[in-house]
Structures are given as C-alpha cells and as structure tokens.
A and B are shown apart, each in its own frame.
Chain A
Amino acid sequence: MNAQSTIVVQGKEKLVVIGNGMAGCRAVEEVLERDPDRFEVTIFGAEPRVNYNRIMLSPVLAGEKTFDEIVLNTAEWYDENGITLVSGDPVREIDRDSKKVIAASGKAEPYDKLLIATGSDPFIVPVPGHDLPGVVTFRDLDDVDRMLAAAEKGGEAVVIGGGLLGLEAAHGLTLRGMKVTVIHLMPTLMERQLDEAAGYLLRQELESRGQTIMTSANTKEILGADGHVVAVELDDGTRIRADIVVMAVGIRPSTGLAKSAGLDCERGILVDDHMVTSDPDILAVGECVQHRGLCYGLVAPLWDMCRALADHVTDRPSGYQGSVTSTKLKVSGIDLFSAGDFGGGEDCEDIVMRDAARGVYKRVVLKDNRVIGAVLYGDTADGNWYFDLLKKEEDVSDIREALIFGQAFASGGALADPNAAVAALSDDAEICGCNGVSKGKVVQCISGGAHSVDAVRSQCKASASCGSCTSLVESLLQITLGGEVESGPLTLCKCTSFTHDDVRRLIIEKGLKEIPQVMQELHWTTPDGCSACRPALNYYLLCAWPAEYQDDEKSRFVNERLHANIQKDGTYSVVPRMWGGLTNPRELRAIADVVEKYDAPMVKVTGGQRLDIFGIKKEDLPAVWADLNAAGMVSGHAYGKALRTVKTCVGSEWCRFGTQDSTGLGVKLEQATWGSYMPHKFKMAVSGCPRNCAEATIKDFGVVCVDSGYELHVGGNGGIKVRATDLLCKVETEEEAMRTCLAFIQLYREDAHYLERTAPWLERKGLDWIKAQLFDDPERIGRLAARFRISQKYWQVDPWERRAAGHQRNLHRHLATIRPELEEA
C-alpha cells in the first residue's frame, strides 16, 4: 500500500476511482490527456493485477493470445502517471458525508471527486447446485484459469447461455479438447443480436464443429457428486454429463456500492449526460451505469462515456448522447456482424439477400431512407460500412437498389443502378451459375420471344434451379424489352420469387426440412416470412416429410393452433367427430353435459352431419375436450385445412332404394382419412343410390353407389362458386373405392397449392391430367395410397387428447389476471 495516499498534495484535487478495469483506466487516461496536473489519482481494483482487455479473454481461453498480450496498462503506466493502484483490496463503503471511501482492509481514502467504474457482475441462475465447485462464470482471468484447469483433464463441458459470451466460452473449450454442450433458454442463439435466419446458420456451423446445441432448454438443476459438479438436468428431465459448467447467461450492472451509498439507481447507477450521478461529486462510467434508460454491455459506448466524463471534470463539458452498438462474434472462422435495430416495423423496410451456396445471409433495415440496423452472416466485409451509414444517419436513397450488394457495388457511381450494372456486363458474363447460361444467351432467348422470367427459365434454364439470379434475369428482361415485361406466374407470396410449384419441388429436391432452412435456401426476402407463406411452408414440409417434420404452431392459423373455430366475439366453437354422421346416446349425453357445464349459448346441427357447440372460451377448451374424449369422441377437425366430414345417407341397411352400405363405407372412409392435413379443407360424402341424398356430387370426393358398384366423383364444391363433381371412374368393390379415394387425396396433397380447393385445382390441372396420374401407370395408385397411409401413421392423432393432457397448456391460459382493486392489499 502507498503511505502517501492519505497526504493531500497542495493544489491538487483528489480523484478516487473504484474499479481498475477498462472503464476506470480509460477515464483516467482521458482526464490526464486533458489536464495532467489537475488530479492526484488513486485507483482501487478488486482483482490483484493491472488493467487488461477483458473482451480479449475469449482469445486467451481459445489459446490464441496470452495474458501479457492483453494487458492494457502496465505497472509502469501507473508509476509514470503518479497513480496509486490499490489492487486486491476492494472498496466496501462510500462515506458521502465525510467524502471518503473505505476498503476491505479498513483503509480509508478521501476524495474530492469519486468515479465509480465497478462494471458488471455475471448473472447466476439460482438453480439448485449453482454454487457447486466446478460451476464457473466467464468474467475475469480467474474464470479463464479455472476453465483451462478443467480442460486440461479433458471430458465434458456444459455452457449455460447461448449468447455472445457463452458461445465464445464454448468455442474456447472446444478448441481445448472438451466435448461441449450449449444450453440456451431461447429458441434462437444470440437472439439479442441475431434474427432467426442468421441464428439458424450459426447453429448449423457450430454443430458441424462438434458442439451440441440445445435451444429452448431450461436448466432445472446442476447435479453434484463428491462435492463436484457431474451433470446438468433440464426441465424435461434430460441429463447432460458435465465436468465443468460455465454459466454465461448475462451480466448485471454492479450497483451494490452505489446503492448502499444512497445514490439513485435503477437497473444501473443513474447518470446524466456528463456521467454525474445524483451526487454532483460522484461520477460513474461503464457497464455499471444507466444513461437515458440504457445499460450497455459492450466496449464501444465506454470510450464515448469516458470522453464526456473527462470533458466534464476538466470544465469543458461536451455531453454523452448515448451509443449505437455493433456486435461481432469472436469465434474464428465464423463471420457474424449485427448492429442497431433489426426488429423491423411498419415504417421500416427490410432488404434481404441470401446466397445459399456461400452460406451468406445479409439483412439491412431502412427507415426513412436511412440504415437503422444490419445483420450479416457469412460475409461481414461490409459490416463497418453499414455501421458507418447507420451512425451517420446518411440518406441512402441514391444507392438503395445496390445497398445490399455492398460498398464496392453501391459506390460505383453509375453502377448504383442495378440495371445499368447488368447492362455493363459483357455478353459472355455468366448469369446463371447453376446452368452455365451467359448474358448473351439470355438476351438471345428474350429477343427470341421469351418475355417473362418463366419463359426464360423454360427456354434457356437461366434462374430455373436455385433462383438466386432471378433479379439479374429480370434486369435483362427490362433492358432488352424496355419495360414490356410480362408478369410471370404468381409467386407463393411477396417474400419470394418462387411459385408454389417451385417451392414444393425444391423442398423435395434439396431435402429442405425446416422453415428457416427453406427461407435461407430459397432466398426469402423477409427475415421470417408472412402470414401467407408460413402456414403454406408448414403444410408443404409436413406433407413432404411426414415422419420427420415437427409441426410449427406459430405458423398455424388460430383455428388450427387452438383446434377449434374462432367466432366473431373471440370465443370458439367445438365440433366432435361423428363417424359418417352416426351418433349414440353416450355421445349425445356427453355433448349435452358439456353444453350445460360450460354454459354454451348455442348448439347447432352442421351441414356435415354433426353437432357444433358454440361460445366456448379458449381457457375452457382443454376441459371440454377431456369431457368429450371421455365419451370416446375425437376432434372433428371442423377448423382445419384437413379432412372434415364424410356425409352419408342410410343406404342399403334401411333405405328401400339403397344399393350398397353407404353408411358403412362412409364410416370406413372417415376412419382411414381423419386427421390428415390437406392444402385446404376436404369434404366427402357417400350416397347409397343415384338419388344422392348425401349430396356427394358437390364434395371434394363423392361416392354414388349403384347396383353394379361405386361411381367416384371428384372436384365438387358447394361454396361461393358452386361446382358439380366430375366423374373420375367407376369401381366394383369397396376396397377399390377406398384405395382410389386415398390415392386421389394423396395426389391432391402432393400437388395442389396451399389454400387451393380441389375444384380450382382440378380446373387448373385438368381432369385428364388427374386421370393420367392415377391410372396410366397401374402401380401408381398403390404407391400414392401407401404414401397416404404412411403419413397417417404419424399424423392421425387426436389433437384434443394431447391438449386435454396438458400439452401446449400456455396456449389456453392467460399469463395472469390484473385485478386493480387488490393492489393495495
């Protein structure tokens, strides 16, 4: 300890700094630079060492740097500047009345100006076992040493937290030879910095490096044996072996000292624009402060804060205006950049570019023609340029079209117009890499009569494969034809240049199995799609990969998410299945009981021969379903783009005109097909004779029984535009009728566009095409029916039963109820 520290040197004010970290030392440097003789400086540090660059701890852990290389202020610096460093003796108390600080050792130090730069503390999730030996945080050099010691023995590491710090820790431990599992609470890694699309790419890369990434995973307990950590247990019971657990879930401003000294604090220590706290002689800077409502956990704002602070204490006040921050992940080989606000919004505009082949995702967010945010993955060369545009708030309208291609392209003067850029390309420049088509060839093709993207695709194959050169082809069409471009077929939605057919084909060809993957590989222009494409993709994926695909609730319309029909007052109606329109006393009693028990205001017989219970609240749905399940009833899917009803007449069993057992066939058809999701709703009927009491000729699939067998009709619709069915074929046995039905359904499921009923689908494709698909190859019908049965193996489940058992409980309950009158209690 320095004995001189208690002697006040004549003419010099005493500046005491609590915190020997990056913020405290930088602030002192800034002050000395402005007025080297004004203060006598004493710095208290809790760590027993000089100031080092904390953000470089990750490279130290990864073995890319040594501690000496990350030291910022050497012992000489303190000496040369006459600074007294009290290290390893943390300050315990601030006595504002007598203006002095008291350290753990009892040492008291008077101040004229006090600077608090205590930084932040790692946040510890208070799960059982969090204090076991072997559980470490990632904040200072001691933590790094503990991790290195563990890594030396090898084994398995669990990192709790998939944010910036957690992933850097995981990377370091992986390089040090440990088997690493990252547990992240949220579904997207680094969700504060990345959107879903970029998070998806990052996850794929980390997994390819051997890390196990578990998202939406909540740690329940850290388990120990013989006084040391051995495993981490998740909410769902999963246990992961661990020789070391790194807790990297976030940081909290360290405000303890300031609070006990009575300074105004919220999340951080409150400071004004000059970094002055509620006591005019006490300043604060760095991660411990809260400025204009914001706390920062990154290094860049610190420099700006320190400048404002130094200007203030040397009587040249400038003021800190807050910072815009950017993030880069310090994991070698992963290029990732994010800055500003990329939450989007109605007056914001997203420009998205994806290059699946290079694994690149770029997204720039504009507002009022200014860059307000950017996320880059795979190619971050232009990160600083975007960040610069963002900070300067420059108007980018002149370079808007070329902005996403980067600085080199956008600042190319005349080339800023993408059409001009394309026009400037030579004739032998390659336009479509997939099919090796040159610009000359595309122009030739356009001049030869291909006046739309689709025509170009079919004639010279340019942009027909991955589609990433579609905009180049569009430019060439505009240049060549001068604005007389014919609009091509409708795209799936405005998020993509691909049609429904393209998307369905590419899902299979490229083996795409998740929504974010489809969006990345097919160059979606929005970060997470829209209410048109999300449900369509969800259906296309579950149809293509029935065994593997996990249904995505957030891509479902409300009715399919809540398995009931929403009504105009926000309540729901519930329709249990009645096989072929048959019911019995037990079912009717259960329905009557539900109506009374839940005070349903109305029950109605539907057009599909079943009962609809109205006015059920979303909170009551699981209980209603439990009651209906108990009487043997399952969901009627009256809410779904799915098999709805099979309407029947009584047939040969009762009717004097009946030719076949239409009721029995209807029940069999319904039992085989219920639960299957379709491009749109799908209704069936079986009539026992040509009098057609079940109205089978306005259904998607209708059977009309005749003496000699069964007429099978398809493509009928009783909706806005009435359409009678076309006769598909006539068969002799029930088995043939069943098989043809399943094959027809599967053909519709695999070919139609999402939200296209069978009637418009049939008119678009033609009855001959459908007949050819089903009957030309005698094997085909069996294969289609078999594929339908495979799908049913996975999807023919009663969704009500799972919900009644508590699955997705959150969808049915309120977060809480706010009762103002209770508040005073």
Chain B
Amino acid sequence: MTATAKPVWLDIGPITQIEPGMAATLPVEGGEEIAVFHTMGGEFYALVNKCPHKQGPLSQGIVHGDSVSCPLHNWRISLKSGKALGDDEGCTPTIPLKVDAGRIYLLREAVVPGKAPPLASALAA
C-alpha cells in the first residue's frame, strides 16, 4: 500500500445551519474569510468570501441557481468554479467541500494558510 497522505477534512458543523438560498461565513485567522453557500437546489459550495471585482462579500449576495450576485456591483459569480459569469472576467478561489452524514466538511489544506501537515482540527465557535 502506498503511503499517500490522506486528505484531511475540517468538520464545520451540520448542514442545517445554512438555509437553502443563504450563505454563512467562516473567518480564518491569518487567512482569507470563507463563505459557505447552500443553493436552493440543495448543493453546498465554499468560496473565498471576496468578489474578484472589488472584493465584495459574496456571502451577502442573492443566491440563484448555482451562482451568487455580488452585493456591491451585481457581478454574477459561479459557485462551482468561482469564475465571474457573463461579460465580466475574474475568478474567486473555491474550497473543496463535502457533505457527509448531514455535516459539512472543508478540505483543510485549502482552508488553512501555509503548508502545515494534516493535524487534528480545532474550531472555536
């Protein structure tokens, strides 16, 4: 068996914390704040909470389909790819997310700044 490091997932709590059509925020000390979205179609996505245009907080935008409209200037950002849609150009980093047994997990290495090997997770509410 090869010794590839297993991905480490951070448990950020139950899916019921975010209503469909809404988003929640997760500040990261020393890193970029993350926005976690729950679409009306029932999908979950995580993005850095910054519009590529003028860094507007995407978490506060209106979620429709699999996109969010930035609250500052109405740029439409894909929740799947982080890319600006329509005629606008730019991209917001996405964070790999999975839902398992009713809980949301984010890929640790994409959340935590720096290199750091996998460690046990710690969340402060």
User: Interface of A with B (CB < 8 Å)?
Assistant: 123, 185-188, 191-192, 195-196, 216, 218, 250, 252, 267, 278, 342-346, 348, 350, 526-531, 534-535, 553-559, 561-562, 566, 568, 570, 618, 810-811, 814-825
Which of A348, A570, A820 is within 8 Å of B57, CB to CB? Answer: A570
Known: A346-B80, A346-B85. A816 touches B19 (CB 8 A): no
Residues of B within 8 A of A528 (CB): 21, 40-41, 64-65
Residue pair A342, B41 in contact (C-beta under 8 Å): yes
Residue pair A530, B71 in contact (C-beta under 8 Å): no
Known: A267-B100, A814-B25. A530 touches B40 (CB 8 A): no
* Bound-state Cα–Cα, A514 to B56, Å: 30
Which of B56, B64, B67 is within 8 Å of A346, CB to CB? Answer: B67
- A374 vs chain B, min Cβ distance (A): 13
* Bound-state Cα–Cα, A815 to B12, Å: 8
* Bound-state Cα–Cα, A713 to B36, Å: 48
Known: A188-B42, A818-B28. A526 touches B60 (CB 8 A): no
Residue pair B41, A824 in contact (C-beta under 8 Å): no
- The 5 A-B residue pairs whose C-beta atoms are closest, nearest first, are A554-B21, A531-B69, A558-B71, A346-B78, A558-B60
- A271 vs chain B, min Cβ distance (A): 15
From A562, which residue of chain B is reached at the shortest CB distance? Answer: B60
Residue pair A350, B65 in contact (C-beta under 8 Å): yes
Residues of A within 8 A of B34 (CB): 818
Residues of B within 8 A of A556 (CB): 62
Which of A559, A814, A818 is within 8 Å of B24, CB to CB? Answer: A814
Residue pair A554, B62 in contact (C-beta under 8 Å): yes
Residue pair B83, A343 in contact (C-beta under 8 Å): no
Report, as a range, how many residues of chain B touch the other chain: 35 or more
Residue pair B40, A527 in contact (C-beta under 8 Å): yes
Residue pair B119, A554 in contact (C-beta under 8 Å): no
Known: A188-B20, A188-B42, A820-B31. A531 touches B74 (CB 8 A): yes
Residues of B within 8 A of A531 (CB): 61-62, 64, 69, 74, 76
**Is B125 interfacial (CB-CB < 8 Å)?**
yes
Residues of A within 8 A of B111 (CB): 818
Residue pair B42, A817 in contact (C-beta under 8 Å): no
**Is B124 interfacial (CB-CB < 8 Å)?**
yes
Residue pair B26, A816 in contact (C-beta under 8 Å): yes
- Which B residues, 69 to 108, have Cβ-Cβ distances below 8 Å to chain A? 69, 71-72, 74, 76, 78-81, 83, 85, 100-102
Interface-central residue, A196, A529, A811, A820, by most chain B CB under 10 Å: A820
* Bound-state Cα–Cα, A345 to B83, Å: 11
* Bound-state Cα–Cα, A185 to B15, Å: 10
Residue pair A815, B20 in contact (C-beta under 8 Å): no
**Is B122 interfacial (CB-CB < 8 Å)?**
yes
* Bound-state Cα–Cα, A786 to B24, Å: 41
Interface-central residue, A252, A346, A810, by most chain B CB under 10 Å: A346
- B9 vs chain A, min Cβ distance (A): 10
List 8 A–B pairs whose Cβ atoms lie within 8 Å, in order of A's numbering. Answer: A528-B41, A534-B62, A535-B62, A558-B60, A570-B55, A811-B22, A817-B28, A817-B124
Residue pair A343, B19 in contact (C-beta under 8 Å): no
Residue pair A555, B78 in contact (C-beta under 8 Å): no
Residue pair B21, A814 in contact (C-beta under 8 Å): no
* Bound-state Cα–Cα, A773 to B106, Å: 58
Residues of A within 8 A of B123 (CB): 816-818
Known: A195-B41, A823-B119. A816 touches B124 (CB 8 A): yes
- B105 vs chain A, min Cβ distance (A): 11
Known: A344-B41, A815-B17, A825-B122. A267 touches B54 (CB 8 A): no
Residue pair B19, A346 in contact (C-beta under 8 Å): no
Residue pair B61, A558 in contact (C-beta under 8 Å): yes
Residue pair B64, A568 in contact (C-beta under 8 Å): no
**Is B10 interfacial (CB-CB < 8 Å)?**
yes
* Bound-state Cα–Cα, A529 to B65, Å: 7
From A529, which residue of chain B is reached at the shortest CB distance? Answer: B64
Residues of B within 8 A of A343 (CB): 39, 41-43, 66, 80
Residues of A within 8 A of B55 (CB): 570
Known: A528-B40, A814-B25, A816-B124. A344 touches B101 (CB 8 A): no
Residues of B within 8 A of A188 (CB): 20, 40, 42
Which of A196, A346, A810 is within 8 Å of B41, CB to CB? Answer: A196
- B47 vs chain A, min Cβ distance (A): 13
* Bound-state Cα–Cα, A822 to B30, Å: 12
* Bound-state Cα–Cα, A820 to B31, Å: 9
Residue pair B17, A810 in contact (C-beta under 8 Å): yes
Which of A196, A818, A820 is within 8 Å of B114, CB to CB? Answer: A820
Residues of B within 8 A of A818 (CB): 10, 26-29, 31, 34, 111-112, 123
Known: A530-B64, A823-B122. A816 touches B28 (CB 8 A): no
* Bound-state Cα–Cα, A218 to B14, Å: 12
From A516, which residue of chain B is reached at the shortest CB distance? Answer: B40
Residues of B within 8 A of A534 (CB): 62, 64
From B119, which residue of chain A is reached at the shortest CB distance? Answer: A823
Residue pair B22, A553 in contact (C-beta under 8 Å): yes
* Bound-state Cα–Cα, A823 to B18, Å: 25
Residues of A within 8 A of B78 (CB): 345-346
Residues of B within 8 A of A555 (CB): 21, 62
Residue pair B1, A278 in contact (C-beta under 8 Å): yes
* Bound-state Cα–Cα, A559 to B112, Å: 30
* Bound-state Cα–Cα, A825 to B119, Å: 10
Interface-central residue, A192, A252, A562, A810, by most chain B CB under 10 Å: A810
Known: A343-B66, A558-B60, A815-B12. A566 touches B71 (CB 8 A): yes
Known: A267-B101, A344-B65, A526-B65. A814 touches B41 (CB 8 A): no
Residues of A within 8 A of B116 (CB): 820, 823
Residue pair A561, B114 in contact (C-beta under 8 Å): no
Residues of B within 8 A of A252 (CB): 101
- A558 vs chain B, min Cβ distance (A): 4
Which of A196, A250, A554 is within 8 Å of B22, CB to CB? Answer: A554
Residues of B within 8 A of A821 (CB): 29-30
Residue pair B39, A817 in contact (C-beta under 8 Å): no
Residues of A within 8 A of B76 (CB): 531
Residues of B within 8 A of A350 (CB): 65
Which of A186, A191, A819 is within 8 Å of B29, CB to CB? Answer: A819
* Bound-state Cα–Cα, A618 to B60, Å: 10
Residues of A within 8 A of B17 (CB): 810, 815
Known: A196-B20, A346-B80. A823 touches B72 (CB 8 A): no
Given A343-B42, A344-B66, 11 extra CB contacts under 8 A: A343-B66, A346-B66, A346-B83, A346-B85, A530-B64, A530-B69, A531-B74, A558-B61, A618-B60, A815-B25, A815-B26
Residue pair A819, B122 in contact (C-beta under 8 Å): yes
- B97 vs chain A, min Cβ distance (A): 12
* Bound-state Cα–Cα, A534 to B74, Å: 14
**Is B3 interfacial (CB-CB < 8 Å)?**
no
* Bound-state Cα–Cα, A531 to B69, Å: 7
Residue pair A218, B71 in contact (C-beta under 8 Å): no
**Is B5 interfacial (CB-CB < 8 Å)?**
no
- B85 vs chain A, min Cβ distance (A): 5
Residues of A within 8 A of B26 (CB): 814-818
Residue pair B125, A557 in contact (C-beta under 8 Å): no
Known: A188-B42, A814-B27. A566 touches B72 (CB 8 A): yes
- B15 vs chain A, min Cβ distance (A): 8
Interface-central residue, A188, A535, A823, A825, by most chain B CB under 10 Å: A823
* Bound-state Cα–Cα, A554 to B59, Å: 12
* Bound-state Cα–Cα, A528 to B81, Å: 20
Residue pair A568, B72 in contact (C-beta under 8 Å): yes
Residues of B within 8 A of A187 (CB): 19-20
Known: A343-B43, A343-B66, A562-B60. A218 touches B16 (CB 8 A): yes
From A342, which residue of chain B is reached at the shortest CB distance? Answer: B41
Residue pair A191, B20 in contact (C-beta under 8 Å): yes
Known: A192-B42, A350-B65. A557 touches B71 (CB 8 A): yes
Residue pair B60, A815 in contact (C-beta under 8 Å): no
- A493 vs chain B, min Cβ distance (A): 10
Residues of A within 8 A of B74 (CB): 531
Residue pair A570, B64 in contact (C-beta under 8 Å): no
